Structure 1
Amino acid sequence: MATVTELRYYPVKGCAGVGAAQAELTRAGLAHDRAFMVVDEQGVFRSQRRDPLLAAVRPAVEDDGRRLTLTAPGAEPVTVAIDTDGPRREVRLFGAPFLGIDQGDDAADWFSGVLGAHSRLVRVPPEHDRVTDGLIPGTSGYADSCAVHLLSRSSLDRFNELSGVAALSVDRFRPNVVVDGWAEPHTEDRARRIAVGDAELGYAKLAIRCSVTLVDQSSGAKAGPEPLRTLARYRRAAAGGVAFGSKFAVLRPGTLRVGDELAVGAWGASEL
């Protein structure tokens, strides 16, 4: 039986994740996941693709979602009150327009100093109604696409066997849910409906990997060419790019816990 071995959410898009033994799963993913986003002066999102130092920023949502604390090497920590009803501004994510609530000058000045470029921090507004794509559509905050990224330990073990270099840790792939117990690598590609805890997930699509996987998640420094070099040898997707892990929509919200068993209610063929 497969079980959940890690849960991780990423409060600020592109920044470090927060591990949890238990997390609420909402329609948009784990609570607080990608609820915030750093944007440039034009409102375009920043990511590790061009700002790898985001990986070294460690956010913490405190006081039941009322405060956000940000820390990074070489910078004084800052704590800001989370604004959930301030004026909206237009932001852009992969060219698509969305709205965000600006979180004030303290957060903006802090990120601008850490990244060395003008930046603002915005939060998803309560009325955010994004629809994500895939076999089963869903919603999410400021994630690249779907609400939940799930990766199995057997898939990571297989990658590390094939790479022939120092093993990469799972955080290089920034999953929300890590699963152990599936003997066959990439079983997550074929699982179409998964009951876990009192929640249910529906398969959306393969997770197509980008240059973010080249960034060391502890230092914020680029450390390529792995994993993309090895993935290009055996995980090329028919639609383009290389795939590793799968994305899921939330069919039924609930509570997830490390140790929860996964029950797959429907299977399908891999899209690879």
Structure 2
Amino acid sequence: MARVVKLLSYPVKGCAGMPSHSAVLTPAGLAHDRSFMVTSEDGVFRSQRRDPRLALVRPEIGTDGRRLTLHAPGWGSVGIDVDDSGRPREVELFGAPFRGIDQGDEAAAWLSDVLGTPSRLVRVPADHDRVTDGRTPGTSGYADSCAVHVLSRSTLDLLNERLGERGAPPLPMDRFRPNIVVDGWHTPHTEDRAHRITIADTELGYAKLAIRCVVTMVDQQVGAKAGPEPLRTLAAYRRAAEGGVAFGTKYAVLRPGKLSVGDDVHVTSWGASEL
């Protein structure tokens, strides 16, 4: 039986993941996932594509979402009371306009020091009404696209086997920044074909394959690019028809609820892989 072996949310887009044993699944994904975003002073989002040091920033947020603390080795910590009622400002994510509530000068100054460039921190406003794409539409905060990213251990095992054949070292799961890690799907890339999934009282609907970018080349422990892997190896066997390479699957939330590490993963509808 397939089961959940890891749950990770990423409260601040591009920053380190926050593991948990249990989590609330909201229509926009795991609670607080990508509900904050680091931007330039003029509102353009920052990501590990250009700012790999974001990987060093480790967020902690309470279950009520009222207090956010950011840690980074060598820079200490900063804690803020979350502002969710301030006046939103214009921000930009992949060229698309959104809004965000600025979280103040203290967090901005700390992040600017860590990243070495002027930065601000914003939060998703209450009226954020984003509609995500894919086969099953949904919503999300500041995620690249869909609400939930699922990846199986067997999928990573196959990649590491292919890397070994090239003489390259294995890569950890954190290179791919999943929300839900599944064990027990013995065939790699089973998640490509799992079109409806239930976990405890939650349900996910397949949206699309996860097309990977240069963030997978960032060593999440040191906050620096360490390429060309895994993209070079993935290009040999995971090329997607629309371009790029696919690894893992994105889902929309069909039924919110609570899920936990150890919960069984049931596939209620199968489909063909789009690769």
Question: 1:42 Cα shift?
Answer: 1.6
**Structure 1 moving runs of 4+ over 4 Å:** none
Structure 1 SS opposite 2:132: coil
Asked if residue 52 in structure 1 is aligned to residue 67 in structure 2, the reply is no
Counterpart residue number, 2:15: 15
Gaps of 5+ in 1: none
Q: How far 1:64 moved relative to its partner?
A: 2.2
1-structure distance, mates of 2:66, 2:34: 16
User: How far apart, CA to CA, are the structure 2 residues paired with 1:110 and 1:168?
Assistant: 30
1:142-157 equivalences under 5 Å are 142-157=142-157
What does residue 85 of structure 1 align with?
Answer: 85
Q: Distance in 2 between matches of 1:92 and 1:126?
A: 17
| Residues 201-258 of structure 1 deviation map (CA, whole Å, 9 limit, x = unaligned) | 0000000000000001111011111110100000000110000000000000010100
Q: Which amino acid aligns with 2:196?
A: R
Quote the Cα distance in structure 1 between the aligned partners of 2:77 and 2:162: 40
Aligned: 1:69 with 2:69: yes
Structure 1 63/158 Cα, relative in aligned 2: closer, same or farther at 3 Å? closer
Structure 1 vs Structure 2 CA RMSD: 0.7
In 2, are the aligned partners of 1:193 and 1:201 still within 8 Å (CA)?
yes
1:205 lines up with 2:208 in the alignment: yes
Say if 2:167 is the partner of 1:168. no
Q: 42-51 or 60-69: which moved more?
A: 60-69
Instruction: Report what 2:182 is aligned to.
Output: 179
Q: Using the aligned pairs only, state the percent identity.
A: 71
Matching residue of 2:273 = 270
Distance 1:97 1:251 in 2: 26
TM-score by length of 1: 0.99
Change (3 A) 1:225 1:114: same
* Cα displacement (A) at 1:63: 6.3
Say yes or no: does 1:230 pair with 2:230. Answer: no
Matches of 2:224 and 2:256, distance apart in 1: 36
Which residue number corresponds to residue 98 of structure 1? 98
Where do residues 106-117 of structure 1 align in structure 2 (5 Å cutoff)?
A: 106-117=106-117
- 1:218 matches 2:245: no
- In structure 1, C-alpha distance between the alignment counterparts of 2:143 and 2:63, rounded to whole Å: 23
Match of 2:209, SS state, is: strand
Consecutive unaligned residues in structure 2, runs of 5 or more: none
CA distance in 1, matches of 2:186, 2:12: 33
Task: Give per-residue Cα distances to partners, 1:69-94, cap 9 Å, x unaligned.
Answer: 11111113110110000010000000
Q: Which amino acid aligns with 2:256?
A: P
Cα deviation digits, residues 165-194 of structure 1 (max 9, x gap):
211010000000000001110000001100
Offset, 1:160: 0.3
CA distance in 2, matches of 1:30, 1:166: 31
Separation in structure 2 between the aligned mates of residue 256 and residue 90 of structure 1, nearest angstrom: 34
SS of equivalent residue, structure 1 residue 44? coil
Give the TM-score taking structure 2 as reference length. Answer: 0.98
